[in-house]
Chain A
Amino acid sequence: MAEKEMSFEKALERLEAIVNTMENKKLPLDDMIKNYEEGKKLTDFCSKKLTDFEKKIEILVKETDKGPVWSEFKNN
């Protein structure tokens, strides 16, 4: 389920930790590359999350047995 993927907050937290490690610790080449690759993935993920929005403004019309019915809300 898409809902189960990593949260933006978690990704950001991990990314900060990685950058911190890379900047402040002496790492062997392998670890450095591993960290970089993970960090790159996380920045891509976060950037995507930041732009991946759909615009929709809806108002609840009624609730039925099959679920809520929405209609577009006109903002004047």
Chain B
Amino acid sequence: MQDRIWKISEVNSVIKEVLEGALSSFWIEAEIGTMTVHSSGHVYLVLKDESSQMKAVVWKGARLIQNLKLATGSKIEAFGAITVYEPRGEYQFTIRDIRPLGLGDLQRKFEEIKKRLLEEGLFDSSRKKKIPLLPKRIGVITSPTGAAIQDFLNIINRRFPNIHIQIYPASVQGAGAEKDLIKGIQFFNRLSPPPDVLVLTRGGGSMEDLWPFNNEALAREIFASLIPTISAVGHEIDFTICDFVADLRVPTPSSAAELVVAKQDELTEKINNLMAKLNSSINIFIEKTKRHFERLSGSYVFKDPLRMIFERVQTVDEFKTRISHAVELRIEKESSGLERLKAKLQTLNPLNVLNRGYAILQDENSGKIIDSPDTPPGTAVKAMLAGGYLNMKVLSGKYCKLDEK
């Protein structure tokens, strides 16, 4: 090989083969040094790191570069292959896919901040302030040139123009934007009197664009704000730390405006409704009371007062009759009972026995009933008979069983 004399084209050809073979598809991490977007739509770049640089190209990449908002100085990750341009002996990196560097880092950082603030209780629903039903003055913190304020005001103007809006101009993108946003919140909290509600808003964008709204200091400022705050950042799918800490999150700038306006319509209807109910309930009451009064005033009490007295007299008479009847009945009942008792008493009277020829003997001195033969002879005895007494003396006594005799 040392003997052979090479042609340049041959060398370049080998270089192409070797390089393209060895470095056919891989990711690189780099910073954009210079960037030219050609009218053809191709994008030519110089990529670099701390010590080296390399040419690169994105065929038809103008749109992609624009969407990703890449510019000189942007850090990127790119996927592609080394290609060699033989006629000039130059190589470049042909990019097939490109993305901003650190998107993964941002996501991780976002989750970290979210977790920390969540644990600290900054997202607690119990700490959220109520959005007033009817804000008179709204403080809006946003970029005066952005799409968000246009969207917001369009809705307001179309549906509910009579409202006082104060805009605090703030940058909503790029490094340091969070400082503007924080100042805005502080400004409105200082304002005397402060607005009824704050709206923090910007349109959609990449995660990097929305990054200032994920700032921890901003989150703490929103949390500390005495004015209820609505966060309307990005599109429906975009969630920022601001959204979590704000008292209310709405998906877009337009929906923030619609929220205020919709409530307006709703409230007007509600008040009208309540007014109608108020009127109908007093009317129904008056009607009822009137009918009640008419019924009373039409009654015979007022037309024929004597009738009322007669009715009372009649009632008294009825009572009298009933009472005397009851008394009679009672007397009758009681006296028949008495007769029965008397008869019963009669049958139980011991003197009745004398009527049947028996006598009762008593010791004349002591009055004791004599029922034993063991009575000393000579004892004076008094015999009680049906017709009177006999005075007797005991001659003798003897025990015996009378039924055996």
Give A contacts to B, CB under 8 Å.
Answer: 3, 7-9, 12, 15-16, 18-19, 22-23, 27, 29, 32-33, 36, 39-40, 43, 46-47, 49-51, 53-60, 63, 68, 70, 73, 75-76
Additional A-B contact list (19), CB under 8 Å, known A9-B133, A12-B271, A29-B285: A15-B271, A15-B278, A19-B274, A23-B281, A27-B285, A36-B281, A40-B278, A43-B271, A43-B278, A50-B264, A55-B161, A55-B162, A56-B164, A57-B164, A57-B165, A58-B165, A59-B144, A60-B168, A70-B166
B27 at the interface (CB under 8 A from A): no
Complex contacts, B165 vs chain A, CB 8 Å: 56-58, 73
Q: How far is the CA of A1 from the CA of B160 in the complex (A)?
A: 27
- What are 15 inter-chain pairs, A to B, with CB distance below 8 A? A8-B132, A8-B133, A12-B133, A12-B271, A19-B281, A43-B275, A46-B267, A46-B271, A51-B162, A55-B164, A58-B166, A58-B167, A60-B167, A70-B166, A73-B165
Is B282 touching A32 in the complex (CB atoms < 8 A)? yes
Complex contacts, B130 vs chain A, CB 8 Å: 9
Known: A58-B165, A75-B153. A50 touches B278 (CB 8 A): no
Tell which of A3, A18, A27, A73 touches B278, judged by Cβ atoms closer than 8 Å: A18
Q: Which residue of chain B is the closest to A53 with respect to CB atoms? A: B162
Known: A57-B165, A60-B168. A50 touches B267 (CB 8 A): yes
Known: A46-B271, A73-B167. A54 touches B162 (CB 8 A): yes
Q: Which residue of chain A is the closest to B141 with respect to CB atoms? A: A60
Q: Which residue of chain A is the closest to B166 with respect to CB atoms? A: A58
Chain B 281-325: CB-based contact to A (< 8 A → 1; otherwise 0): 110010001000000000000000000000000000000000000
B365 at the interface (CB under 8 A from A): no
Is A32 touching B134 in the complex (CB atoms < 8 A)? no
Is B157 touching A75 in the complex (CB atoms < 8 A)? yes
Q: Which residue of chain B is the closest to A37 with respect to CB atoms? A: B282
Chain B 257-281: CB-based contact to A (< 8 A → 1; otherwise 0): 0000000100110110011011001
Q: Which residue of chain A is the closest to B130 with respect to CB atoms? A: A9
Complex contacts, B268 vs chain A, CB 8 Å: 47, 50
Is B136 touching A53 in the complex (CB atoms < 8 A)? yes
Q: Would you give the shortest CB distance from B19 to chain A, in whole angstroms?
A: 54
**Overall SS of chain A's interface:** helix
| Residue of A9, A46, A63, A70 with highest tally of chain B CB at under 10 A | A46
Q: Which residue of chain B is the closest to A32 with respect to CB atoms? A: B285
Complex contacts, B150 vs chain A, CB 8 Å: 75-76
Q: How far is the CA of A75 from the CA of B289 in the complex (A)?
A: 58
Tell which of A53, A60, A75 touches B163, judged by Cβ atoms closer than 8 Å: A53
Work out how many contacts link A and B, with CB atoms closer than 8 A: 99
Is A54 touching B164 in the complex (CB atoms < 8 A)? yes
Q: How far is the CA of A67 from the CA of B237 in the complex (A)?
A: 39
Tell which of B144, B264, B274 touches A73, judged by Cβ atoms closer than 8 Å: B144
Q: How far is the CA of A51 from the CA of B281 in the complex (A)?
A: 26
Is A57 touching B153 in the complex (CB atoms < 8 A)? yes
Q: Would you give the shortest CB distance from B125 to chain A, in whole angstroms?
A: 19
Q: Would you give the shortest CB distance from B68 to chain A, in whole angstroms?
A: 29
Complex contacts, B162 vs chain A, CB 8 Å: 51, 53-55
Complex contacts, B289 vs chain A, CB 8 Å: 29
Known: A55-B164, A70-B166. A36 touches B134 (CB 8 A): no
Q: Would you give the shortest CB distance from A9 to chain B, in whole angstroms?
A: 5
Is A55 touching B167 in the complex (CB atoms < 8 A)? no
Q: Which residue of chain A is the closest to B281 with respect to CB atoms? A: A22
Q: Would you give the shortest CB distance from B198 to chain A, in whole angstroms?
A: 13
Known: A40-B278, A63-B187, A75-B153. A57 touches B167 (CB 8 A): yes
Complex contacts, A29 vs chain B, CB 8 Å: 285, 289
Q: Would you give the shortest CB distance from B152 to chain A, in whole angstroms?
A: 9
Complex contacts, A33 vs chain B, CB 8 Å: 282
Tell which of B133, B154, B191, B277 touches A19, judged by Cβ atoms closer than 8 Å: B277
B193 at the interface (CB under 8 A from A): yes
Known: A12-B270, A60-B167. A36 touches B161 (CB 8 A): no
